[in-house]
Chain A
Amino acid sequence: MKKTQRHTLNCRSVYKHICENLDADIDSAKCRRIRAHIEECENCTAYLDSLKKTVYLYRAYPTPLVSTNAHKELIAKIPFATVSEKKRRSLG
Chain B
Amino acid sequence: MNPLTTRAHHNKAHPLKNLPDERLIEDARNGNVHAFETLVKRYEQMVYGFSFKMCRNKEKADETLQDTFINVYKNLQQFNGNSKFSTWLYSIVTNNCLMNRRKRKMDQEMVSLDEPPVEEGAHHHGTIPSWEDTPAEKMMNTELRSRLDTSIQKLPQDYRVVFILRDIEGQSIEETAQILKLSIPAVKSRLRRARIFLREQLNDYMVQ
Contacts and interface: CB of A to CB of B under 8 A. Distances in A.
A91 to B, nearest CB: 9
A58 B192 contact: no
A70 B120 contact: no
B43 to A, nearest CB: 10
Contact of A64 (B58, B70, B136): B58
Contacts, number: 128
Contacts of B196: 19, 51
Contacts of A59: 167-168
A65 interface: yes
A74 B66 contact: yes
Interface string A2-36: 00100010011001100110100000000000000
B89 to A, nearest CB: 14
Indicate the size class of the contact surface on chain B: 35 or more
B52 A64 contact: yes
A71 B168 contact: no
B79 interface: no
A55 interface: yes
A72 B23 CA distance: 24
B40 A46 contact: no
Contacts of A51: 195-196, 199
Interface in B33-74: 33, 36-37, 40-41, 44-45, 48-49, 52-53, 58, 61-62, 65-66, 69-70, 73-74
B150 interface: no
A57 interface: yes
Nearest to A47: B128
A42 B66 contact: no
Given A42-B127, A47-B128, A59-B167, A11 B121 contact: yes
Contacts of B145: 61
Interface in B88-138: 120-121, 123-124, 127-131, 136-137
A19 B74 CA distance: 40
Interface in B1-58: 30-31, 33, 36-37, 40-41, 44-45, 48-49, 52-53, 58
A44 B175 CA distance: 29
Contacts of B163: 58
Contacts of A42: 127-128
B44 A12 contact: no
13 contacts: A15-B120, A19-B120, A20-B192, A46-B131, A49-B131, A54-B195, A61-B140, A66-B44, A70-B62, A74-B65, A75-B37, A77-B66, A79-B73
The 3 tightest CB contacts between A and B, nearest first, are A60-B136, A12-B121, A46-B128
